[in-house]
Structure 1
Amino acid sequence: MSQHKKIYIEKNSHLKAFAAVLILGVLMFLGTNAQTTHAQSEFYPPQLTQTAVKGMVTEVVKEQLIQNEYAKYTYQELKIKLTQEPYLNQEIIVKINETPTSNSTRYEVGDKLNLLRVEDENSKISYYITDFDRTNAIVLIFFAFIICVLSVSRFWGLAAVIGMVYSFAIIFKLMLPQILNGHDPLLIAILSAFLIAPASFYLSHGINRKTTIALISTTIALIITGILSIIAINMSKLTGFGSEEAYFLQLAKHGEINIKGLLLAGIIIGTLGILDDVTVSQASIVTQLKHANKRLSQIELYKYAMRVGHDHITSTVNTLVLVYTGAAMPLLLLFINSEKSFTEVMSLEIIADEIIRTLVGSIGLILAVPITTFLAVKFADENDTSAERHSH
């Protein structure tokens, strides 16, 4: 068999595998019976009719700084014009911080807001500000991100963006609706990960030997991470109720959601996002080393690649720790300011949850490096130039 024919068959097999996974994902995507959520909340009595509306502050009618022995806050009366049908151009008055509160938010003319319109059984209508409307800001930042990706990475940047959109589609149209419907979160997360990974990897890095090795390594690392997560969560007796959101979700769905399974699912999906970088980069290193020096033995190739892998491990683990610390900064400050000891703070579920996530995820990432290196060395091809477009 000629070299040209061998390469053609190999690439054709990659394409068939990729197409099969993509078709399966699309079919599941279309077959998902996602339930649409409405503004009506189950936490409110059924006689209350609630509608989410948007509005804009047109006038600060009254503003007063109030300070007492308990709190310092700003009382405001705002005139708001509704900007959404069927209440378009209606003007309302909303009072903010009528009672002592720790809320320091101060609204100004021109602020765009999300509001909740509540109508009781006597047709009395009240409006409550739920948050700022950040849609425009998010869209602008997203487009800046897209422009940055496309200007630097061009075609491969576009492919990566398509992969990202596909991943979001799987998460929001398959994974989350199925979990809300009461299916096992861990099983759904694993299925979603197996649908996301091939499309994301091949779109972002091309259909080649390097990407396939990275994908196989990621799958192995995810399985190990899942097993370790189950062991760690059971050992530490985590329940998944470390946050208020878990309680609200359980109440809203009448206990149909497996919260502990949801915790496991979060670890799986979170680890998948970082494994992409680790496994592809490590496979690229091996491919590039083999391409540069075809006389390297497998042992030498593994040794040289792992030298870079060691740096990759330390930098990635450090990144994980800093990311989780940054996300939990207000919470950490709150506990440090309390009179609880370090061990008490560490044992609190809301803190232990993040510690377990970080440690288990880090173990999965660490093991992914030697696994990827071994597979890349074992199946290295000196004629493979796919690593030339990937550097880390």
Structure 2
Amino acid sequence: MTEHHHHHDHSGPIAIGANAARVVVGLLTVIGAVVLLGAVLLWPSNQHIDIPLPMQNAGGGAVQTEAGTVVMQDVGPCGSASNGKVFVEKPDVPRNSPYTCQRSLVDIESGPHKGNKTLFELPPGPGQPDLHAGDKIRVVRQADPSGTPMYSFEDYSRGMPLLLIVAVFVVVVVVVARWRGLRALIGLIFAFAVLVMFLLPALLDGKPAIPVALVAGALILYAVLYLAHGVNLRTSSALLGTLTSMLVAAGLSWVAIKMTHLTGLSEEQNTNVATYIEHVSITGLLLAGFIIGSLGVLNDVTITQASAAFELAAIDESATRREVFTAAMRVGRDHIASTVYTLVLAYAGGALPLLMLFSVAGRSIRDVLTGDAVAIEIARSSVGGIALALSVPLTTAIAVVLAKPFGRRDHTDPPRRPRHARN
């Protein structure tokens, strides 16, 4: 007499029905083709856009910056004729002046005046930089109406510190997550390239914001998910759930902005865009920001739900689809709770300076919360939270169907009592 022995390997994604696989692969292939077609149709033209006035130099061109180092710093009378000008050794002695300034002697370390010096006289006050000898800075190079080269303080030089921080980030991610971490970083670079090369130029070109944001978001999701998590049905279920949730977020964003009449003009950057790049819709920028901003948190939740559903189905192949869905949803509810906190607190953290200004303005809490600036953050958090909550059951259902497709019986194992084969 012999007994039937069953061995299951759960080291990778479990096998699923061929029909379910074909449906998912077919859907994602069709969506991918539509996304690529949309990218072709919405690809920005090469039209020239004038540099906005605040960003021009005296000649109407782009502002040029050079590297510099503060070699001396003191406080003394203002009014030196060398202020902002190029000289070789020492600045001119200032005239007798009742006003005092912070005076910074700066070595110019790049550009046509490399090796020379300039002087900055900065009156004390809020918003003025507090320079010290040894500070690495960026200086603006331009010319006055007579053609004399002039320099002014632009910002601190942060290239090397930022490079070190990014290098540590890359090393830690690769050491801990290894090849998957490296692939995730490659996906991050791709996402940045999509934003810089497609999304922003297309919006500048006057293309409709929602289709542009959806195409850009889909391109990012295809690359990031498959690079970081591999090409398999577990990742495909998360991708399908994320794409669907992104559509939901786009619709909710449009409704929220229309209902609340958000303008975005409470933010200085948006006002500058509206003033100097008139053909760009501020509402469109808000919409695109809502949609792209929701991708990160949606991706996090959907990949977790897909993994949970596949692992639960693999651990107990005798479990029904309802049991797997219910168990995965318990994980999802905990994830929703923690991620909603993350979402709201992240937006609140970014709005802290604004909230502080309102807190000392003596305005009522109702006026503060319904003002354009704070209302944008509330609407963005709410849209992200709704899309996040809906993505959990949606992705879980897709993953359960893939892990235990309808073409297969819920109980794949034979009856638990061993059946003896006839001799």
- The number of equivalent residue pairs is 367
Is 1:341 the counterpart of 2:364? The answer is yes
Pairwise mapping of residues 251-262 of structure 1 onto structure 2 (< 5 A)? 251-253=275-277, 255-262=278-285
Q: Equivalents in 1 of 2:18, 2:210: separation in Å? A: 39
- Aligned residue in 1 for 2:186: 162
Is 1:52 the counterpart of 2:64? The answer is yes
Is 1:213 the counterpart of 2:270? The answer is no
Q: Equivalents in 2 of 1:50, 1:377: separation in Å? A: 55
- Aligned residue in 2 for 1:63: 75
Q: Equivalents in 2 of 1:5, 1:347: separation in Å? A: 52
Distance 1:36 1:54, change over 3 A: farther
- Aligned residue in 2 for 1:295: 318
Pairwise mapping of residues 177-188 of structure 1 onto structure 2 (< 5 A)? 177-188=201-212
Identify the match of residue 248 of structure 1 among 272, 278, 282. Answer: 272
- Aligned residue in 1 for 2:83: none
- How far residue 299 of structure 1 moved from its aligned partner, in angstroms, is 1.1
Is 1:317 the counterpart of 2:340? The answer is yes
Q: Deviations over 1:87-123 (max 9, x none)?
A: 3222110112x2x632253111222222222323222
Q: Deviations over 1:219-247 (max 9, x none)?
A: 11111111111111111110121200011
Q: Equivalents in 2 of 1:121, 1:215: separation in Å? A: 57
- Matched-pair identity in %: 32
Pairwise mapping of residues 235-384 of structure 1 onto structure 2 (< 5 A)? 235-253=259-277, 255-381=278-404
Q: What TM-score do the two structures reach when normalised by structure 1?
A: 0.84
Kept in 2: contact 1:55–1:80 (CA 8 A): no
- How far residue 363 of structure 1 moved from its aligned partner, in angstroms, is 0.5
Kept in 1: contact 2:347–2:381 (CA 8 A): yes
Distance 1:34 1:362, change over 3 A: farther
- Aligned residue in 2 for 1:389: none
Q: Deviations over 1:7-47 (max 9, x none)?
A: 9x86x958x949x769949x969x75567999x65235865
- Aligned residue in 2 for 1:135: 159
Q: Equivalents in 1 of 2:304, 2:246: separation in Å? A: 17
Distance 1:188 1:87, change over 3 A: farther
Q: Which moved more, 1:277-286 or 1:120-129?
A: 120-129
The residue type equivalent to 1:308 in the other structure is V
Q: Equivalents in 1 of 2:386, 2:349: separation in Å? A: 20
Distance 1:174 1:270, change over 3 A: same
Identify the match of residue 146 of structure 1 among 150, 167, 170. Answer: 170
**Residue aligned with 1:117, SS:** strand
**Residue aligned with 1:89, SS:** coil
Q: Which runs of 5+ in 2 are unaligned?
A: 1-14, 78-99, 406-423
Q: Equivalents in 2 of 1:286, 1:356: separation in Å? A: 31
The residue type equivalent to 1:42 in the other structure is L
- Aligned residue in 1 for 2:4: none
Kept in 2: contact 1:48–1:119 (CA 8 A): no
Kept in 2: contact 1:79–1:93 (CA 8 A): yes
Distance 1:369 1:34, change over 3 A: farther
Q: Equivalents in 1 of 2:185, 2:238: separation in Å? A: 19
Q: What TM-score do the two structures reach when normalised by structure 2?
A: 0.78
Distance 1:169 1:47, change over 3 A: closer
- Aligned residue in 1 for 2:111: 85
Q: Equivalents in 2 of 1:49, 1:119: separation in Å? A: 11
Q: RMSD value over aligned CA atoms?
A: 3.3
**Residue aligned with 1:379, SS:** helix
- Aligned residue in 2 for 1:385: none
Q: Which moved more, 1:104-113 or 1:345-354?
A: 104-113
Kept in 2: contact 1:286–1:380 (CA 8 A): yes
**Residue aligned with 1:283, SS:** helix
- Aligned residue in 1 for 2:53: 42
Identify the match of residue 111 of structure 1 among 135, 138, 152. Answer: 135
Q: Equivalents in 1 of 2:264, 2:275: separation in Å? A: 14
- How far residue 140 of structure 1 moved from its aligned partner, in angstroms, is 1.0
Distance 1:115 1:35, change over 3 A: farther
Distance 1:5 1:210, change over 3 A: closer
Which one has more relative contact order, counting CA pairs under 8 Å at least 6 apart? Answer: 2
Q: Deviations over 1:61-86 (max 9, x none)?
A: 42269xxxxxxxx9411111222222
Instruction: Return the index of the structure with the highest Cα Rg.
Output: 2
Kept in 2: contact 1:62–1:76 (CA 8 A): yes
Kept in 2: contact 1:54–1:112 (CA 8 A): no
Q: Deviations over 1:118-141 (max 9, x none)?
A: 323222443221211211111111
